[in-house]
Chain A
Amino acid sequence: MLVSSILIALLGEKKRLSWAVSLIGAAASFMVSSILFSTYFNKDIIEKYTWFSVSGLSFSLSFLGNNLTLFMAMLVSFISVLVLLFSRFYMRKEKQSRFYAEMSFFIFSMLGLVIANSLLLLFIFWEFVGIASYLLIGFWYDREEPAVSSKKALIITRIGDLSFLTAVIVLFSSFKTFSISDIIGSLATAPHSVLVLSGALLTIAAFSKAAQFPFYTWLIDAMEGPTPVSALLHSATMVAAGVYLLIRLLPIVSIAGMSEFIVLLAFITAFISAVLALKERHLKKILAYSTIESLAFMFMAIGTLNAGGALFYLFTHAIFKSMLFFITGIFAIFFGTYDIYLLKDKRIRMSWVTVPAIIGFASIAAIPPFMSFFAHSALTYNFNIYENIAFVIVSFITALFSFRALFVVFGKRARKPLKKEFNTVFPVVTLVVLSTIGGVFLYFFGSIITMVQSFDYFSFISLAAVFLGVVISYFVFYKGKAESYTTKARDFAEKFENYRYEKLIITAGKAVSALGYGLAEFDSTLVKSVSTAAESTFFLSSKLREIENGDAFRYLTAIIIGVVAVVILAVVFV
């Protein structure tokens, strides 16, 4: 595929003009993937290469071009173009070349991931995405927090990586091929245990990458990275990789019987993250929680075997979430803070970002005219009654926290307008337009992936819940009334604080390292005890050591004489 090769060539660049090069690279890959998308619409093309082969097993890498993969490639490269435009604004004072090199590598890996057809290749790009995000989150290496959080991100996603690797090994051993299309084609022939095992492992992999319930903490900490990175990470790349993996491998997961489990965990995640977002003051972290929640929505759709809904929501979410991150980045550059209450005092209402921000937060809450409302309706298509009820509750909290952020940040009227700039205005406006009129895409989407959407009672019940949430947060956070509700809500939220969970993890980590230190002690004792044994040998040989006078040539002479003697003896006597 052309796309990846273009981006590989791009990786070589380091010095000046790196921004332009990476932007052109991303734009080119967008063009190429759009052209490919329109050319190969409704066709499957597979390009296959053999990486290496050992004793009859060939480790082949293949790319697949069909509607789904090329659509994802288009989405990824589109968002990347906008993010790169925005980075020009955001990263002005930083080390440009390193940033753009890593960024391009990130985009390249994600593009590779979406068009890969071989599980092995998918895994390779999956790892690349992880590594690239590690490098980007830890971009400010001279600060303490990014170093910690990048390490945390990599360790947590590595759990998923390794379980993915295990799944790849298990599947390969039983199917003798890496090709996803072949594996899915011959699922019936495989033993059930293999599928259950690999399905479970793949679910773990997807959950850790997409920051779902047991693994979600890394995404919050990942906010230490530069904002363009967060925009890319949250919208179309890193976290979407987890969802995308399950969309591609949905048959395995559903046969393995993981779907109820996925739905359950997704609901837990959505609930926890919505509640925690209600309490958070840090704007980027609020967005991070909302990302986790949106991903949980996608997993709900996947768990109800509604891949189309998940994909459409992924598309929607990528658009409005990257826009919100751009806005956050603009605040950060102009005001130097992410704290919503501090931002309130900066008086930014009525500046040009107000309307996009309203649309963005309304999209989180899925208010009708915007695309995400339609996405929600597609999402909930397969839900049963319990899932619907739970979804209504979650939507209510979602509306509450998203409008809280909105009302707090834009609480006071601005005195002076924000400066405008092409690099900031263009991406934001493009995305605003898309997420406003995006509902239209719903009607083209059916040809990309089978998708049904319906407006049933629950769509409207949840809409009502959303409006209720909006109204409540209007009174509570905008008007500043009902302080007691705020504190109550905060108390409630604190119960769900992830510190408890964090403590558990930290304790487990400490236990492992204590075990490590203990074993290290044990091992050094072992080593020393053997030394003592060696010492006695040493003592016995002390007589012999008198020869040892430091003249190394003597030893050598002795060795040579000895070897010659042995050889002569061998030759003469035997």
Chain B
Amino acid sequence: MINLILLLIVPLIGISYILFEQLSGRGLSPDKISFITMGITAAVLLSGLMYGFIPFNLNINSAVDFSLSLNINFITIPFLLLVVVLPIPILYFASNEIKENKPMFYLFYLLVYSSAVGVFISSNLIFFFLFWEVAVLSLFFMMSLWGKTIKSRKAGMKFLVFTQFGSLTLLAVFILLFVYTGSFNFYTIASKMSSVPLYIEYVSFFLLLITVMIKMPVFPLHEWLPDAYYYSPTPVTMFLSGILSKFGGFAFILFGFGLFRNILINLRIPLVLLGVLAAIYIALVASGQRDLKMLFSYSSMFYMALVFIGVSSGMTVAVSGAVLLMISHGFVITLLFGISYILLQRTGTNETGKLGGLTSRMPLLSIFFMLAVFASLGIPGLSNFPGELLIFIGTYSVAGISLIAIFGIMISTNYYLRALKEAMFGHLQNKLSGIKDLNRTEVLVFLFISFFILLIGVFPSLLTGVLGGL
């Protein structure tokens, strides 16, 4: 049996070790420390999955029910897998991209890592919020301090302003819940939900909705995302899209579906409609993008809109589909951003029109590119398919309009294939003829991500099996 606190202690040791190294000024480089730390954490997670976890509880102040209590709830484990595993390949891109002030960067890196783990396992809402904030703030610093241009700072500021607003509404939800149930513990609140008056439930649900829509993000509140994704250093973009956007979905499922289920069910039709609109809108906007990184940013929002549809339906099947899609999307989008990063590095541009015919120079990269595109298109056997299938099956029975979103998949087929064709196929441009293919490390990193894409695609039961008590 593995105590959950270990998942937090290991990264904290890593952080303090980096600090220590920084003070003593020698020894291991910080990226190696981060790698070892994350490796150990992954090992802890693995052994935990094999032998089971035991919850952890440390009471700090019982008057406000302020305690560090960690527990596995009904959707934690898939997210835990994502958040523990995904930063390991991201580290490679970080070590490539980040040259200045390394110790600080990896400090923040591990801080995001541990707080993301913390968000998914803490059942005390104060700590939930604390971890949530630490993750957002660290990403803000990573974004604005290591971004290349003045625009990255602005983007960082925008990101902070937006998400802080979302965090405040979330805090308001927690406070409302505390006022009416007298507890910050998720399980206590869940058992006392009957004592919350209906209008308070509605108010908190809407507040939660704002948080979710900012965080995921869903159409009307997505304005921070294109800037933030585009101008951040690639590892930060991967963090944002692979992990941070999942916070929104996680909160939506945990609180929206877990606590306010009745309201969710009452409002399901307008919410699904909103999701469908967002999906179509985003898919159309994405087809107007000429830059790979921007295209992937928008496509990322498209899948989040599908997740939103799935959760809003309030059907168990669709919610499990949403979880599956989020996990899968984390891996797929990281692969896509990795590809766009390597293309940018090698060719100096990310605009599909300026690339072309790269397959003959970069056969390995094109294999991964095709894999990622096929995964995004929801080809069976790759990871997006089970999630999308479950979402649509679940929502169809209560809200047939959700099927309109399939039209969005059609549009996304168009833009993905266009990007693939323009960048990889056709005649090779002369100035690109000296380009090099992936090196061995990059292949390993991509293989690592692809392994999970295939694993989830072929054996979705691995994830659906651990979605206990949904």
* A and B pair up: yes
B61 at the A interface (CB under 8 A): yes
Residues facing A in B28-65 (CB within 8 A) are: 60-61, 63-64
Cα A147 to Cα B423 in complex, Å, equals 11
Contacts A143-B426, A513-B288 given; does A151 touch B421 at CB 8 Å? yes
Residue of B284, B374, B397 near A519 (CB, 8 A) is: B284
Cα A173 to Cα B158 in complex, Å, equals 43
A141-B366, A512-B414 known; 7 new pairs, CB 8 Å cut-off, are A51-B461, A54-B464, A128-B379, A141-B424, A519-B281, A519-B285, A538-B154
B284 near A165: Cβ-Cβ < 8 Å: no
- The interface bits of chain A over 157-199 (1 if a CB of B lies within 8 angstroms of the residue's CB, else 0) are 0110010011001101100000000000000000000000000
Residue of B161, B374, B459 near A537 (CB, 8 A) is: B161
Residues facing A in B139-160 (CB within 8 A) are: 141, 145, 154, 157-158
With both beta carbons as reference points, the residue of chain A lying nearest to B388 in the complex is identified as A165
B436 at the A interface (CB under 8 A): no
Of the listed stretches B89-97, B166-174, B264-272, B404-412, name the one at the interface; the rest are far from the partner chain: B404-412
Contacts A147-B426, A169-B393, A512-B284 given; does A55 touch B418 at CB 8 Å? no
Cα A513 to Cα B419 in complex, Å, equals 13
B425 at the A interface (CB under 8 A): yes
State how many angstroms separate the Cβ of B194 from the closest Cβ of chain A.
24
B392 at the A interface (CB under 8 A): yes
Of the listed stretches A298-306, A496-504, A527-535, name the one at the interface; the rest are far from the partner chain: A527-535
Residue of A155, A172, A556 near B417 (CB, 8 A) is: A155
B288 near A517: Cβ-Cβ < 8 Å: yes
Cα A360 to Cα B93 in complex, Å, equals 58
B63 near A574: Cβ-Cβ < 8 Å: yes
Residues facing B in A118-132 (CB within 8 A) are: 120, 123-124, 127-128, 131
Residue of B130, B157, B421 near A538 (CB, 8 A) is: B157
Q: 6 interchain pairs (CB within 8 A)?
A: A141-B426, A142-B426, A142-B427, A162-B410, A524-B226, A527-B226
Contacts A155-B417, A170-B396, A519-B285 given; does A55 touch B317 at CB 8 Å? yes
B417 near A527: Cβ-Cβ < 8 Å: no
B274 at the A interface (CB under 8 A): no
Q: How large is the interface on B (under 10, 10 to 19, 20 to 34, 35 or more residues)?
A: 35 or more
Which residues on B sit within 8 Å (CB–CB) of A567?
60
B104 at the A interface (CB under 8 A): yes
A169 near B424: Cβ-Cβ < 8 Å: no
Residue of A55, A138, A559, A570 near B137 (CB, 8 A) is: A559
- The interface bits of chain A over 66-106 (1 if a CB of B lies within 8 angstroms of the residue's CB, else 0) are 00000000000000000000000000000000000000000
Residue of B61, B101, B281 near A552 (CB, 8 A) is: B101
B316 near A527: Cβ-Cβ < 8 Å: no
State how many angstroms separate the Cβ of A108 from the closest Cβ of chain B.
12
Contacts A142-B426, A155-B414, A570-B66 given; does A556 touch B107 at CB 8 Å? yes
Cα A555 to Cα B105 in complex, Å, equals 13
B157 near A534: Cβ-Cβ < 8 Å: yes
Cα A518 to Cα B285 in complex, Å, equals 8
Q: What secondary structure prevails in chain A residues at the interface with B?
A: helix
B114 at the A interface (CB under 8 A): no
Cα A517 to Cα B392 in complex, Å, equals 28
Which residues on B sit within 8 Å (CB–CB) of A563?
130, 134
Which residues on A sit within 8 Å (CB–CB) of B426?
141-144, 147-148
B227 near A54: Cβ-Cβ < 8 Å: no
Ranked 3 nearest A-B pairs via Cβ: A520-B288, A147-B425, A516-B288
Cα A155 to Cα B415 in complex, Å, equals 10
- The interface bits of chain A over 12-49 (1 if a CB of B lies within 8 angstroms of the residue's CB, else 0) are 00000000000000000000000000000000000000
Residue of A55, A124, A513 near B380 (CB, 8 A) is: A124
State how many angstroms separate the Cβ of B246 from the closest Cβ of chain A.
19
Which residues on B sit within 8 Å (CB–CB) of A384?
none
B285 near A52: Cβ-Cβ < 8 Å: no
Cα A53 to Cα B320 in complex, Å, equals 10
Residue of A55, A131, A165, A526 near B223 (CB, 8 A) is: A526
A57 near B393: Cβ-Cβ < 8 Å: yes
A385 at the B interface (CB under 8 A): no
Cα A519 to Cα B224 in complex, Å, equals 17
Residue of A53, A146, A526 near B461 (CB, 8 A) is: A53
B262 at the A interface (CB under 8 A): no
A523 at the B interface (CB under 8 A): yes
Interface residue ranges, A against B (CB under 8 Å):
51-55, 57, 59, 120, 123-124, 127-128, 131, 135, 138, 141-144, 146-148, 150-151, 154-155, 158-159, 162, 165-166, 169-170, 172-173, 509, 512-513, 515-524, 526-527, 529-531, 534-535, 537-538, 552-553, 555-556, 559, 563, 567, 570-571, 574
Which residues on B sit within 8 Å (CB–CB) of A150?
425
Residues facing A in B415-447 (CB within 8 A) are: 415, 417-418, 420-421, 424-428
B284 near A127: Cβ-Cβ < 8 Å: no
B317 near A147: Cβ-Cβ < 8 Å: no
With both beta carbons as reference points, the residue of chain B lying nearest to A125 in the complex is identified as B380
Which residues on B sit within 8 Å (CB–CB) of A146?
425
B240 at the A interface (CB under 8 A): no
Cα A519 to Cα B134 in complex, Å, equals 35
Which residues on A sit within 8 Å (CB–CB) of B424?
141
Contacts A57-B393, A141-B359 given; does A570 touch B403 at CB 8 Å? no
Cα A538 to Cα B285 in complex, Å, equals 28
State how many angstroms separate the Cβ of A36 from the closest Cβ of chain B.
25
A534 near B154: Cβ-Cβ < 8 Å: yes
B158 near A162: Cβ-Cβ < 8 Å: no
Contacts A142-B426, A531-B154 given; does A165 touch B357 at CB 8 Å? no
Cα A534 to Cα B63 in complex, Å, equals 39
- The interface bits of chain B over 74-116 (1 if a CB of A lies within 8 angstroms of the residue's CB, else 0) are 0000000000000000000000000001001001000000000
Contacts A53-B464, A512-B284, A520-B288 given; does A148 touch B421 at CB 8 Å? yes
Which residues on A sit within 8 Å (CB–CB) of B414?
155, 509, 512
Residue of B316, B357, B403, B418 near A151 (CB, 8 A) is: B418
State how many angstroms separate the Cβ of B451 from the closest Cβ of chain A.
15
Which residues on A sit within 8 Å (CB–CB) of B425?
138, 141-142, 146-147, 150
B276 at the A interface (CB under 8 A): no
B427 near A537: Cβ-Cβ < 8 Å: no
B460 at the A interface (CB under 8 A): yes
B380 near A169: Cβ-Cβ < 8 Å: no
Which residues on A sit within 8 Å (CB–CB) of B321?
54
B104 near A54: Cβ-Cβ < 8 Å: no
Contacts A54-B316, A530-B158, A559-B137 given; does A173 touch B359 at CB 8 Å? no
Cα A513 to Cα B422 in complex, Å, equals 15
State how many angstroms separate the Cβ of A225 from the closest Cβ of chain B.
13
Which residues on A sit within 8 Å (CB–CB) of B227?
527, 531
